Structure 1
Amino acid sequence: MKNAETPVFKLILIGGLSSLGSALMAELLKRQHEVIAVVKDLNTLAPRPGLHFKIGGLNSAAQAEQSVAGGSAVVCLLAALAADDFATQLRMSRALVAGMSRTTIRRLVLVGDFSVLDNSEGHSEQQRACADQIVDLLQRSQLHWTLVNTPQQVAGLGIEHFRQTHGTLEPGLAEPLQRLARVAAAMVDTLELKLHHGEHVNFVF
């Protein structure tokens, strides 16, 4: 039974069709939070208790507003939506912030290629410029935001993989499964404990 003192989130997950997204869904459901995954196809994943789907996206502020409606917090995985396309990630971020500003939702965890903010070596000028603009956009907003660096991932991991992160029969998956599960747990801790507002964090395990 869930501790009545622990707040229950109705979390909107955008870009959840990724390994980190699967880890987040598994962790949130384990803690008895409700997850609403924004998808393009309602038949993408099998339904399960606590996990719901809605059609949406970040093509405009209006679409973003509709996508996040009904939630209490938003986690957006930018790299899963537009990998290595930093101009598109910036455009989506603008739509998301504008859409959320039309709602009462204020908590946003934005996951992306933000390591460039710590060290520009090995990153393009475009990536640095887009990351800087995203930070400026958030700082000028009324949102309670956290930026998280995208962790290293292994493609193709689903929720079922994260239900058992030890003793997997698939060679080489134990370490990345456990690492992503720990990152997901740290992100959910950030939401539950109201940590890292207005901060850029990198979860390293």
Structure 2
Amino acid sequence: MKNAETPVFKLVLFGAQSSLGSALMVELLSRQHEVTAVVDDLNRHAPRPGLHFKLGGLGDADQAEQGAAGGSAVIALLSALAPGDLAAQGRMSEALVAGLSRTTIRRVLLVGDFDVLDAPGKYTEEERECVDQVVDALQRSPLHWTLINAPQALMDLERMAAGMADMLELDLHRGEHLNFVT
């Protein structure tokens, strides 16, 4: 039973099929938030109370806008949607920023391969430019964003999911780039 005094987020989750996506859904639902997972196949998912599914993706601004419609915040697991492909993650980020600019949604968490911001020497000029364009677009947008480095293989995903839920509930780390450490 939901407590009427507790604010409820309507989270839209891109990349729900990943391990982190599953951990996020469990954490957010346990906190009595509503979750809409944007997926490419509705038949692969079992229903749960508070969990909804919608067809879509981050192919362009229209698709991003339609996927996010009805939400109060968005989490995009870019590294799950395009693992190791900074150019694709950049295009998805740009589509999401453009799509969200047409909505009332202002809070967004982007999880991607943003390590390039911490160690630019390990990346090519093209990879650095992709991430720089994402940061520039976010800084010019009205969004309240947080960039999060993709989790490492041995990371405790449940704790990361709890930390991300805390960020949303407490409105922490706006305009920041974060690493989760265990």
Query: How far does residue 30 in structure 1 lie from its aligned partner after superposition?
Result: 0.8
CA deviation string 1:1-21 (max 9, x = no partner): 555443211100001110111
Among 153, 166, 172, the residue aligned to 1:189: 166
How much does 1:120 deviate?
Answer: 2.0
What are the superposed Cα offsets for residues 65-87 of structure 1, whole Å, 9 maximum, x if unpaired? Answer: 11100000000000111111111
Q: 1:127: Cα distance to partner?
A: 2.1
Cα distance in 1 for residues equivalent to 2:5 and 2:124: 46
Q: Gaps (5+ residues) in structure 2?
A: none
1:204 matched to 2:178? The reply is no
Residues 9-48 of structure 1: pairs in structure 2 closer than 5 A: 9-48=9-48
Say which SS state the counterpart of residue 131 (structure 1) adopts.
helix
Q: Which runs of 4+ in 1 moved over 6 A?
A: none
Cα deviation digits, residues 78-133 of structure 1 (max 9, x gap): 01111111111111111111110001111100110111101124333322221111
**Paired AA for residue 195 in structure 1:** L
The SS at the match of 1:38 is strand
Paired letter, 1:20? L
State the partner residue of 1:162. none
Deviation per CA, 1:38-88, whole angstroms, max 9, x where unpaired?
001101221111111000111111111111000000000001111111111
Q: What amino acid does structure 1 have at the position aligned with 2:64? A: A
Query: Could you list the per-position Cα deviations for residues 170-194 of structure 1 after superposition, in whole angstroms to 9, with x for gaps in the alignment?
Result: xxxxx75xx1100110000000000
The one-letter code sitting in structure 2 at the alignment partner of 1:203 is F
State the alpha-carbon separation in 2 of the partners of residues 77 and 108 from structure 1: 11
Q: Which amino acid aligns with 2:120?
A: S
Spell out the pairing of 1:1-205 with structure 2 (5 A cutoff): 1-153=1-153, 176=155, 179-205=156-182
Q: Which has the larger radius of gyration?
A: 1
What SS does the aligned partner of 1:204 have? coil
Q: Distance in 2 between matches of 1:198 and 1:180?
A: 23
d(CA) in 1 for partners of 2:28, 2:71: 14
Work out the number of aligned pairs and report it. 182
Task: Look up the equivalent residue of 2:176 and give its one-letter code.
Answer: E
Tell me the SS of whatever aligns to 1:71.
coil
Q: Report the identity percentage.
A: 69
Q: State the distance in 1 between where 2:92 and 2:68 align.
A: 13
Following the alignment from structure 1 to structure 2, what is the Cα–Cα distance between the partners of residues 50 and 137? 32
The one-letter code sitting in structure 2 at the alignment partner of 1:138 is L
SS of structure 2 residue aligned to 1:63: helix
Counterparts of 2:84 and 2:181 in 1: how far apart (Å)?
21
One-letter amino acid of the counterpart of residue 181, structure 2: V
Paired with 1:136 and 1:17, the residues of 2 have a C-alpha distance of 29
Query: Aligned-pair distance for 1:202?
Result: 0.9
